[in-house]
Amino acid sequence: MHSYVSSLVSELSPGLALALVAFLAAALPYLALSQTTRGRARSAIAYLLGLAAGLAATVASVAVVSAHGDAQAIVAGGLTASFFSPFFGMLRAKWHRKSRPARRKTVMEGFSR
């Protein structure tokens, strides 16, 4: 028996999975880059954190909704979101980052006026 609720779940599950994976994949790089100020490989680590979180959320959403929804659509949306969303989280963290302090003038620059 095919009910209205199962039809609604099967239609909405790819979009909801995409939104969930995109948020989780962008949140971890944002937190990683906004809290730390030093480090050589911060961007790479932040991207890998977001990718891993996105893949884990994709697997979890497929496991939860696989009985009612289209698993291929959920996987396709989840993989796309887990690849591209960490970049948006990293860009937002760099945009909100505090500006660097102004450079002090040297002695010669102070006398040039």
Q: What is the DSSP string of 93-109?
A: HHHHSPPPPPPPPPHHH
When mean pLDDT is compared across 21-25, 29-33, 37-41, the lowest value belongs to 37-41
Q: What is the pTM of this model?
A: 0.76
Residue type, 30: Y
Q: What band does 7 get if pLDDT is binned at 50, 70 and 90? A: confident
**HSE of 19, CA atoms in CB hemisphere, 13 A:** 4
Q: Is the pLDDT of residue 1 over 50?
A: no
- What does the block give as tokens for 70? 């289209």
Question: Span 11-35, mean pLDDT?
Answer: 91
